[in-house]
């Protein structure tokens, strides 16, 4: 089983969107038993909060439910518990390395690497208000990630 942790600043917009998009894609591909997906925040600011309503609405428009998810913070021991830790922007990656004490096994990546867009960031809808743009980026990254994992299996 491949364990994937999606990470953003608050764990109420981008990383839960990625978690539930990836779960949906894996289920549609009949591969849900082969993956474990979760998401976490680098900050403590939203710990315990549900998914932000506009993010929840975009998911719901695409038939994806994220009920029950509440934000939790990344911990150092997540590094050994997961095979891949996937951040949304370069600030996330910096904070992920700080919390986990580096990335000695090369498990940390930016989501858009998997969309063939290395170094690019998922725009933060918390600031842009553009949850559709975040949806498009996240869907494209998750599709690429699923394809790359499938190719390895
Ligand atoms: P996320 O969005 O990192 O995609 O969950 C944010 C949520 C909260 C804040 C910033 C970004 N905040 O500053 O509270």
- Sign of the CA dihedral running 78, 107, 120, 34: negative
pLDDT at 123: 85
Active site residue 100: no
The pTM score is: 0.98
- For the chain, how long is the longest CA-to-CA vector? 39
Q: Any idea which residue has 């996240």 for tokens? A: 138
Pocket test for ligand 1, best of 16, 39, 46, 56 (most atoms within 8 A of CB): 46
Told to judge if 77 belongs to the known catalytic residues of this protein, a careful annotator would answer: no
Ligand 1 centroid to Cα of residue 96, in Å, is 15
Given 24, 89, 124, 137, the catalytic residue? 124
Q: What is the pLDDT of residue 153?
A: 83
Taking alpha carbons only, the member of 21, 24, 20 closest to residue 32 is: 24
Quote the tokens at residue 11.
Answer: 């764990």
**For residue 134, which atom of ligand 1 is closest to its CA?**
4
Establish whether residue 23 lines the binding site of ligand 1, counting it when its CB lies within 6 angstroms of any ligand atom.
no
Vertex 54: Cα angle to 49 and 58 (nearest 5) = 120
- Residue 4: its pLDDT value, please? 98
Give the pLDDT means over successive 10-residue stretches in the chain (153 positions): 98 98 97 96 98 98 97 98 98 98 98 97 94 97 97 87
pLDDT of residue 114: 98
- pLDDT confidence of residue 6: 99
Token pair 């858009």 is found at 112
Residue 88 DSSP symbol: S
Alpha-carbon span 81 to 54, nearest angstrom:
30
User: What does the pLDDT read at residue 63?
Assistant: 97
């Amino acid at each position: 089983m491949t364990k994937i942790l999606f990470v953003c600043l608050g764990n109420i917009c981008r990383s839960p969107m990625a978690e539930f998009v990836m779960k949906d894609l894996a289920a549609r591909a009949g591969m849900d038993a082969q993956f474990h997906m979760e998401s976490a925040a680098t900050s403590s600011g939203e710990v315990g909060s549900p998914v932000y309503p506009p993010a929840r609405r975009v998911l719901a428009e695409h038939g994806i439910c994220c009920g029950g998810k509440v934000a939790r913070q990344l911990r150092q021991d997540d590094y050994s518990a997961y095979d891949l830790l996937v951040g949304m922007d370069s600030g996330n990656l910096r904070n992920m390395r700080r919390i986990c004490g580096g990335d000695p096994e090369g498990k940390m990546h930016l989501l858009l690497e998997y969309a063939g867009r290395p170094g690019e960031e998922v725009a933060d809808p918390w600031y842009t208000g553009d949850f559709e743009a975040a949806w498009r980026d996240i869907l494209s990254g998750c599709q690429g990630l699923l394809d790359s994992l499938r190719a390895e299996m």
